[in-house]
Amino acid sequence: MTGRFAISTGDTLAVDGGAHTRDPLEFHRKLPGYRPTPLLTAPSLATSLGVAEVLVKDESSRLGLPAFKILGASWAAYRAVVDRLGGEIEPWSTVAELAERVASLKPFKLAAATDGNHGRAVARMAALMGFDADIYVPAGTAQARVDGIDSEGASCTVVDGNYDDAIARSAKEAGERCLVISDTSWPGYVDIPTWVIEGYGSILWEVEDQLAERGDATPDIVVVQMGVGALAAAVCGHYRRADAPSRPRLLGVEPLSADCILESVEAGEIITIDSAQDSIMAGLNCGTPSLLAWPLVSTAIDVYVAVDDDRAREGMRQLASAGVVAGETGAAGLAGLIELTQSADAEPARKALGLDESSRVLVLSTEGATDPEAYEQIVGRPQQAVASSSVPTT
């Protein structure tokens, strides 16, 4: 197996992610089925990795969907719709009331590009508000993920191209009767992806609360997946904010075949990689970093690692052994940590992170088995069997 590493040369501890509030979390608490996702202690992972503790934030079920993406999609869609209505609506406490408040926009729709999870989340939020949804996916998207989008009542179109091509197609839908809800940004399009990043912050506020309930401190290292960089920007902003209780070291992980952030960091500027982005870590198959996320992810992350698909498979199996159901993208964070602890070339990266036998590490498992057939082939047992052996939650 071969991984690639890059170490930040900037003063990462001096970065301030700006204002971060709990407003998105208060919004999410109003949505049907809200509850904090589990923060698990995984002793078997700590032993295999040679560290003191591994914590796993398990996003395999979030607001009725099998991934964390609904947090960003729902907050961004809500903020964008309110903005379209003039900036304020009457108070509401249920989604039925919210749908009444925004009904004057109809006929109306939301559009998005996706590798699966984000688009399904946008479609779910559109349905909750009584709107239509048009979702665009790149060629090669797993049928199970297309079926998931269809199940939300959305129109799902396969674009002959990659994720960037799907983004370009979805952007054409913007108009008086349609809002494009994208998790990446481009010139002139920044508000909505900013709200997506804010929405992802709910994960991190939950972690803070869960650790406080246990009487535990912030972990020494936080591992985060990087696609276009939206989730990574949320992590950077949260842990580099001015009032953060501590500043853990940050490890960013992406696929070798879609390492647009690592290559951009090495180049010193945003670049678009021209290789095929065909990793099984489908949610990370992105060729260009987000303009909005770039200032944070290019300076606040301490170490960047790109991993191959076999590492993702290994991460899925190790998480399954700990009772955590994680799809390919969900396991990517652990895959990066495995690469860091096992690669002969990783010593400089381990030193930069301060990773040793005393380290406490937080891993974000960002999705469940969004392609159940592939999951069973890789893990060797169905997701139901893994979930039934889940470790106790906190």
Nearest to 170 by CA among 150, 148, 153, 189: 189
Query: Going by C-beta distance under 8 Å and a sequence separation of 6 or more, which residues neighbour residue 201?
Result: 20, 24, 25, 234, 237, 238
Per the annotation, the verdict on 220 as an active-site residue is no
Q: From the candidates 69, 134, 259, 371, give the one annotated as an active-site residue.
A: 69
Query: 353, 346 in Cβ contact below 8 A?
Result: no
- Number of H-type helices and E-type strands within the chain: 16, 11
HSE on the CB side for 78, CA within 13 Å? 27
Amino acid at the residue 343: S
Distance (Å) of CA 322 to CA 29, 69, 184, 241, 389: 28, 23, 33, 32, 8
Catalytic residue among 57, 109, 115, 371: 115
Task: Give the helix ranges, DSSP H, for 2-152.
Answer: 23-28, 43-49, 70-84, 95-102, 117-128, 143-150
CA–CA separation, 166 and 184 (whole Å): 12
Residue 180 φ/ψ, nearest 5 degrees: -90, 120
**Is 115 in the active site?**
yes
Catalytic (active-site) positions: 69, 115
